[in-house]
Amino acid sequence: MFLRKKLDKQISKSDIFSLALGAIIGWGAFVLPGDLFLSHIGLQNTIIGMSLGALIMIIIEKNYGFMLSKHAVAGGEYAFTYYSFGRHHALICAWFLGLAYISIVPLNATALSLIAKSMFPGLLEKGFLYSIAGYKVYIGEILVASLALVLFAYFNIKGVKIASALQKVMTMFLVGIVFLLLFMVLNNPEIGNDNISTYLGLSKLSIPKILKILTIAPFAYVGFDCIPQAAEELDFSPKKASKLAMLSIIVGCLIYVMLNIITAFAFTQEMILSSKIDWATGDAVELLLGKIGLYSLGISLLMAIVAGINGFYMAASRILFALSRAGAINSWFSELDKKTKTPKNATLFVMAVSLITPWFGRSVLLWVVNMASIGAVIGYLYTSIAAYKLAKKENDKTIKVTGLLGAIFSSSFCVLLLFPGLRTSLTMPSYIALVAWAILGIVFYRKQAKGYKSMKKETLDKLILNKDSKKLKNAS
C-alpha cells in the first residue's frame, strides 16, 4: 500500500497569474532587442513573429487547459502524458521538461551580472578565475548569483504564500515600469520618429526572419506551462487558471513588443551593429529618458530576473515531486516540509544543481538552455496529442482542432530546431548537450527506474492522477 503525499491548496488567481507572467518575462525580453531582434531580425518581423508565436502558444494552452480540467495534479504534462500514453512516454516527457525548467533557474540568476555591467560597470567583475568559451568567469558574479539562488530556495521552502506574495510584487513592478517607460517615450515631443522609421516598410519584411522568431517562441513564452505544475495547489477552478495562462501570454507578448519599440526609437539597426552599444535597450532608455529612466529599467529587469528564478523554482520542484511520488525517482524528492507542506528536498536539489552552473559561465549555460527549448516543445507536443486523443473520445470538436494544430506546431518547432543546416537549428554544442542528456536518461531508466517499471497500473493511477483505475476505464 502506497501513501500518496498531497500538496495544500493555497495558490490564488493573482498568485498563478503572476507566476506565469513572471516566468515568461525573463532577462531575454530586455536583452534580445539588441542582441537579436532589432540587430538581425528587424522591428516588423519581430512584432509579427512574436505575435504569431503568442497566438500559437494560446492554441497550445487551450490543450493544456483541457487536460488540466481532467487532471489537476502536480506534474502537469507528466500526468497528461501518463494518462494518454503510459508511464514510459510520461517519463520521457518529464525528463526533458525537467531539464528545461531547471536550466532556466541559474540562467536567470547569472543574468544579474548583466544589470551590474550596464548600470554599475566593474562592480561584480572582481576575482577573475578563468574563461570558458570566451566568457570570463568572476568570483563576484558567482557570489551574487549564488546568493539569489539560495535566497529564493529559502522563500520557496518557507511556503507558497511567501513565494507567491513576492512574485506578485515583482511582476507588478516589472510590468508597470515597462508600460510607464513606453508612455513617457511616446509622449515626449523631443523624441522623433527618424530612427524607428528605418525599420518600417514592405521591403523590410522577411519570412525566414519571422520563422527565426517563431523558433524561439517556445523559449520566449515558456512560463505559462508553469501553471499545470502547480495545479494541485490551486484554490480555484482549472478553467479560470487556463484563462489566466492565456492572459499571461498576451501580456508577455506586449512586454516583448514594447521593449523593442522603445529601443527602436533610439537606435537604427546600423547603430546597434556598430558594436559601440553594449545593452541596446538600456542605452536607449538612458538616451531618451536619462538616468532615472535607466534606473527604472534596471529595477524592471531585476524584477524580471528574480521573478523568473522564483517561478521556475516552483515549476521544477513540482515536476520532481510528481516524479518522486510516482516512484520514477528516489522518494527523497517528494519529502515535504513539515510546516509549510512544500517539496523541500526537490527545491534543495534544484538549488544545488543551479549553484554549480555559474562556475561554467553563461556561454556554456546558454548551450544547455538552447537545447532545453526542445524540452518545452516536447511538453507541448505530448499535451497537444493527449488533448486531441481525449477530445476525440469525448467528441469535443474545438479541442480536436486545437489539439491537432498544437501537435502540428510543436512538431514544426522540433524540425526547425533539430534539422541540421537550417538557420533556426541548434548549434553543435547544443546538439552535444541534447545527446548527452538523452543518453543519461537511458542509463537512468535502465538502472534506477526498476520499481517504476514494475509497479501496477492501479497504483500508478492513484499516485500520478489521484484516481481509481476503474473510474478511469469508465470515463474512457
Instruction: Note down pLDDT in tens along the chain; length 476 residues.
Output: 457 788 888 889 999 999 999 999 988 899 889 988 999 999 999 999 999 999 999 999 999 999 999 999 989 999 999 999 999 999 999 999 988 898 889 888 888 887 887 778 888 889 999 998 888 899 999 999 999 999 999 999 988 888 888 889 999 999 999 999 999 999 988 888 888 999 988 888 999 899 888 888 888 898 898 899 988 888 888 889 999 999 999 999 999 999 999 999 999 999 998 877 888 999 999 999 999 999 999 999 999 999 999 999 999 999 999 999 998 888 899 999 988 889 999 999 999 999 998 998 877 877 777 777 888 899 999 999 999 999 999 999 999 999 999 999 999 988 888 888 877 788 888 888 888 888 988 888 887 777 888 889 999 999 999 876 555 554 44
In a 13 Å sphere around the CA of 67, the CA atoms on its Cβ side amount to 37
Cα angle: 119, vertex 120, 123; to 5 degrees: 150
Given a contact cutoff of 8 angstroms between Cβ atoms, the answer to whether 266 and 35 are in contact is no
Strand partners, 132: 135
Q: Enumerate residues 6+ apart whose C-beta is below 8 A from 70.
A: 83, 390
Q: For every residue of 245-268, which 3-state class applies, written as one string? A: HHHHHHHHHHHHHHHHHHHHHHCC
Strand, coil or helix: 132? strand
Q: What phi, psi does 193 have (nearest 5°)?
A: -100, 10
SS3 of residue 329 by DSSP: coil
User: What sign does the dihedral 448-451-456-460 (CA atoms) show?
Assistant: negative
Three cell numbers, residue 16: 498563478
Does pTM surpass 0.85?
A: yes
What span, in angstroms and rounded, lies between the C-alpha atoms of 190 and 185? 9
Q: Which helix (H) or strand (E) holds 451?
A: helix 450-454
Select 13-471's CATH number: 1.20.1740.10, 3.30.950.10, 3.40.1190.20, 1.10.3720.10. 1.20.1740.10
Dist CA 427 CA 361 (whole Å): 17
Which candidate, 108, 134, 450, places its Cα nearest to that of 308?
108
- Asked if 284 and 265 touch (Cβ cutoff 8 Å), the reply is yes
Q: How far is CA 97 from CA 136, 347, 373, in A?
A: 29, 16, 9
Longest dimension (CA), the chain: 73
Q: Give the whole-angstrom CA distance, residue 465 versus residue 75.
A: 10
Question: Could you identify the residue written with the cell 516598410?
Answer: 201
Cell matching residue 56: 500559437
The answer to whether 80 touches 112, Cβ cutoff 8 Å, is: no
Question: Which residues are registered as beta bridge partners of 131?
Answer: 136
Q: Reduce the DSSP state of residue 11 to 3 states and report it.
A: strand
